Amino acid sequence: MPCRSDYMDPTHYEESIAETSRLLCFVLKKLKLKPSADEIKFSNACNYPDKVFGDKVTARLCKILSAFNKKQTTEIIYNAKDKDSRKLADWWEEHQIADKKREAKEKAEKAAKKLKDKALSKLTKAERAALDI
């Protein structure tokens, strides 16, 4: 049986980050700014970004879009005549939903930890020992 290369297909994550990098390059071009070498490199689906780069490019694009004024938002994100803008609008809306979910989860985890710490602070050393904590 001959060797195969299908295991080298990019994962959904890698494709998503490549798209995020492409969108970042699109935005930077519109702002007349230059993307980094890595942002250009990973905007090509043939290169496989790791999670560190993925988090970095996602955070950078989010930060830039969050700082847009109304005119930039209309001209760059919500320009219905530009297919890249439409893709960017979809990405931005999905990202904002994901951010809200993540922030709610982090807030709930923080509240649960605070409640747990408060409850544990009421235990005596003997009670802690009995509970192996």
Q: Does residue 128 fall inside a structural domain?
A: no
Check residue 74 and give its pLDDT. Answer: 97
Q: Does residue 122 fall inside a structural domain?
A: no
Print the SS3 string covering 56-94. HHHHHHHHHHHCCCHHHHHHHHCCCCCHHHHHHHHHHHH
Number of domains in the chain: 1
Q: Does residue 31 fall inside a structural domain?
A: yes
pLDDT classification of 19: cutoffs 50, 70, 90: very high
Q: Does residue 4 fall inside a structural domain?
A: no
Q: What is the pLDDT of residues 48-89, one digit of tens each?
A: 788 999 999 999 999 999 999 999 999 999 999 999 999 999
Residue 63's domain comprises: 10-107
pTM over 0.95: no
Q: Does residue 125 fall inside a structural domain?
A: no
Q: Which residues contact 19 (CB under 8 A, 6 or more apart)?
A: 87, 91
Q: Does residue 15 fall inside a structural domain?
A: yes
